């Protein structure tokens, strides 16, 4: 086996890229069987092994667990297509075996996981490392935890490609891999437009194909409240666009969480307050601040009203339900973009400000609200993620709070937040809802969340980042194609080593990744200019 380091492989990519830029078809030649995101350590040779479709199976030497068994079915399909199961059954028939004159080199992928995993959930502390070897006709994946094994399976599937003669082949390869960041998130906003559960699940599949591991579900906002609460059903009855069809029932939510768990993906729900809560007010009377015009309420509402004695009992009951529905250790509490205008107009709020000696500093009132909410979440024994304003406004938060930075000037903010000792996530440079003509993935690809002034200890507080797809201009019609493969650029930034960051080198591999996603049912749009995929997208 000729051992080429990752960097040597990269150099080869660049060379093959330039040679491929012939005048004829004017398009970049994609790689074949090279994974995305790039593993930490990846050695491969040109020695091809055929994969024996007839006998192919995954085997687990050690523990059995539901997550692995589900993954085996899924990944056999990912290699051989939708009819994989039927195909697999057929191989039992002696007639069929006769038909297959050629025996493949590889008929088995052996998976070794050290820790038991039946029924477990991924977390910020998951060990996602794995090793993978394809050598001497044997494939072995080993990992401490099932989460690493899942990523190893994903990588293996990506190593398999079709040879020029149409056979499934995989090159001799040795991989030792783990993510650079533990939190690799994708935010979907299901309030500004509703997204059907069907689309959420397909997106989780796409996330797994790119080793993203946190679905940040910005589930409600000003525009609508599609979360069906068991304790407060009026929230979605009144606050959703259509309570009959555009809500997430408890069953829907459970399905999303289970589908994600089986793919090693955490579901972090965000219930943003005290701002961004207009839709809450429709089903929860007295929750929002009444805005005044002069002496009288003008009929409009502002942020949550922290002065009423009903506010925090409601929040306590509501978030107790949230904590029981969403198993993740973290809840995202929002806390962004609170407008003070309405609070300033309301006489009761003004009295309260005086009583609390806040003067005219409404950031203190916001801090008061957040502090009470954080105490509630503390009492529920959950951690929280918050948008940067909560810290900017000086609320006292738990030391293990994760602060998500989303505004411009993020380098200074990350420096500040980590100096205060908080864990942090970067979102600022990955607002994928913002679109422009051409290959914008390169700007996402080259944004590094540790590129700010700070000590190593500060850098170590960067848990990772999240790409955001805010919902103003996306719904079921376009959200998947707008996300993918642009989100793949962020996924590689958050998984792969820091120095895997040349767009020109990544491009042939990104093209392969896009075509792979298309073959696996995701409408990943073309982002690198003219070209094609061998298999075209078809609606499922």
Active site residues: 337
With contacts defined by CB under 8 A, name the span among 25-33, 367-375, 413-421, 457-465 that binds a copy of itself.
Answer: 25-33
Residue by residue, DSSP assigns 2-71 as ----HHHHHHHHHHHHHHH--TTT-SPPPPSS--SSPPSEEEEEEEEEEB-TTT-EEEESS---HHHHHH
Using the rule CB under 8 A, which residue among 54, 208, 474, 494 binds a copy of itself?
474
Nearer to a copy of itself, 139 or 282 (CB): 282
Q: Which residue has the tokens 């749009």?
A: 525
With contacts defined by CB under 8 A, name the span among 41-49, 186-194, 387-395, 486-494 that binds a copy of itself.
Answer: 186-194
What's the distance, Cα to Cα, between the start and end of the chain in Å?
Answer: 41
Using the rule CB under 8 A, which residue among 8, 73, 230, 435 binds a copy of itself?
435
Alpha helices in 326-425 (DSSP H): 341-345, 347-355, 362-379, 389-392, 410-419
* Minimum distance of a copy of itself from residue 245's CB (angstroms): 7
Using the rule CB under 8 A, which residue among 321, 482, 502, 519 binds a copy of itself?
482
The H or E element spanning position 270 is strand 266-270
Hey, which residues between 58 and 77 contact a copy of itself (CB under 8 A)? none
How many residues bind a copy of itself (CB under 8 A)? The answer is 56
Output the six-digit token pair for 518: 């298309």
Nearer to a copy of itself, 95 or 437 (CB): 437
Distances from the Cα of 50 to the Cαs of 107, 160, 245, in angstroms?
A: 9, 9, 48
Nearest in space to 408 (alpha carbons), one of 439, 431, 442: 431
Output the six-digit token pair for 200: 């959420």
* Minimum distance of a copy of itself from residue 97's CB (angstroms): 29
Binding to a copy of itself by residue 488, rule CB under 8 A?
no
Using the rule CB under 8 A, which residue among 5, 83, 136, 478 binds a copy of itself?
478
Alpha-carbon gap, residue 225 to 279, rounded angstroms: 6
* Minimum distance of a copy of itself from residue 424's CB (angstroms): 26
Are the C-beta atoms of residues 191 and 60 closer than 8 Å to each other? no
Alpha-carbon gap, residue 462 to 270, rounded angstroms: 20
Using the rule CB under 8 A, which residue among 12, 251, 434, 457 binds a copy of itself?
434
Hey, which residues between 231 and 260 contact a copy of itself (CB under 8 A)? 241-242, 245-246
* Minimum distance of a copy of itself from residue 413's CB (angstroms): 23
Residue by residue, DSSP assigns 134-198 as EETTEEEEEESSHHHHHHHHHHHHHH-EE-TTS-EEEEEEEEEE--S-SEEEEEEE-SSS---HH
- Lay out the site mask for a copy of itself across 284-303 (x = CB under 8 A, - = otherwise): ---------------xxx--
Binding to a copy of itself by residue 437, rule CB under 8 A?
yes
Nearer to a copy of itself, 179 or 239 (CB): 239
Binding to a copy of itself by residue 276, rule CB under 8 A?
no
- Lay out the site mask for a copy of itself across 500-539 (x = CB under 8 A, - = otherwise): ------------------x----xxxxx-xxxx-x-xxxx
* Minimum distance of a copy of itself from residue 538's CB (angstroms): 8
Report the Cα 184 to chain-centroid distance in Å: 6
Are the C-beta atoms of residues 386 and 332 closer than 8 Å to each other? yes
Residues of this chain that interact with a copy of itself (CB under 8 A) are 23-27, 191-194, 196, 222-224, 241-242, 245-246, 278-279, 281-282, 299-301, 433-438, 471-478, 481-482, 518, 523-527, 529-532, 534, 536-540
């Amino acid at each position: 086996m000729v051992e080429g380091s990752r960097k040597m492989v990269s150099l080869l990519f660049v060379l093959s890229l330039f040679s491929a830029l012939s005048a004829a078809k004017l398009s970049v030649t994609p790689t074949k069987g090279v994974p995305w995101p790039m593993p930490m350590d990846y050695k491969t040779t040109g020695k091809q092994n055929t994969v024996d479709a007839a006998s192919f199976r995954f085997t687990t030497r050690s523990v059995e667990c539901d997550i692995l068994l589900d993954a085996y079915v899924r990944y056999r399909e990912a290699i051989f297509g939708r009819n994989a199961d039927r195909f697999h059954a057929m191989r039992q028939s002696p007639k069929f075996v006769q038909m297959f004159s050629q025996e493949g080199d590889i008929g088995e992928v052996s998976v070794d996981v050290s820790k038991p995993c039946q029924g477990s959930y991924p977390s910020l502390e998951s060990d996602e490392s794995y090793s993978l070897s394809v050598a001497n006709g044997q494939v072995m994946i080993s990992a401490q935890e099932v989460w690493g094994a899942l990523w190893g399976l994903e990588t293996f599937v990506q190593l398999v490609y079709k040879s020029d003669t149409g056979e499934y082949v995989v090159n001799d390869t040795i991989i030792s891999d783990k993510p650079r960041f533990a939190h690799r998130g994708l935010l979907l906003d299901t309030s500004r437009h509703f997204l059907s559960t069907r689309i959420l699940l397909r997106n989780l599949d796409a996330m797994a194909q790119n080793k993203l591991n946190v679905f940040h579900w910005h589930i409600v906002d000003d525009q609508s409240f599609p979360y069906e609460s068991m304790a407060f059903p009026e929230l979605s009855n009144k606050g959703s666009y259509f309570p009959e069809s555009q809500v997430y029932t408890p069953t829907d939510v459970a399905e999303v969480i289970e589908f994600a768990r089986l793919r090693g993906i955490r579901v972090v729900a965000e219930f943003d307050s005290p701002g961004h809560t207009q839709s809450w007010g429709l089903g929860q009377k007295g929750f929002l601040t009444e805005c005044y015009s002069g002496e009288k309420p003008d009929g409009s509402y502002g942020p949550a009203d922290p002065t009423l004695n009903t506010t925090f009992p409601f929040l306590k009951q509501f978030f107790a339900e949230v904590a029981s529905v969403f198993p993740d250790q973290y809840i995202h509490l929002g806390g962004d973009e609170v407008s003070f205008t309405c609070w300033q107009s309301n006489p009761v709020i003004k009295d309260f400000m005086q009583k609390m000696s806040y003067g005219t500093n409404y950031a203190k009132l916001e801090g008061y609200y957040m502090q009470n909410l954080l105490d509630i979440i503390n009492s529920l024994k959950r951690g929280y993620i918050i948008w940067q304003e909560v810290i900017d406004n000086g609320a006292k938060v738990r030391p293990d709070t994760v602060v998500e930075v989303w505004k411009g000037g993020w380098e200074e903010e990350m420096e500040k937040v980590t100096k205060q000792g908080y864990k942090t996530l970067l979102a600022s440079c990955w607002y994928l809802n913002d679109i422009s003509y051409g290959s914008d993935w390169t700007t996402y690809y080259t944004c590094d969340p540790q590129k700010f002034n700070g000590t190593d200890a500060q850098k170590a507080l960067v848990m990772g980042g999240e790409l955001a797809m805010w919902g103003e201009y996306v719904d079921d019609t376009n959200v998947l194609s707008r996300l993918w493969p642009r989100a793949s650029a962020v996924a590689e930034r958050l998984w792969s080593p820091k120095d895997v960051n040349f767009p020109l080198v990544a491009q042939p591999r990104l093209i392969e990744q896009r075509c792979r996603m298309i073959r696996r049912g995701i409408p990943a749009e073309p982002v690198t200019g003219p070209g094609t995929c061998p298999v075209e997208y078809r609606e499922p």
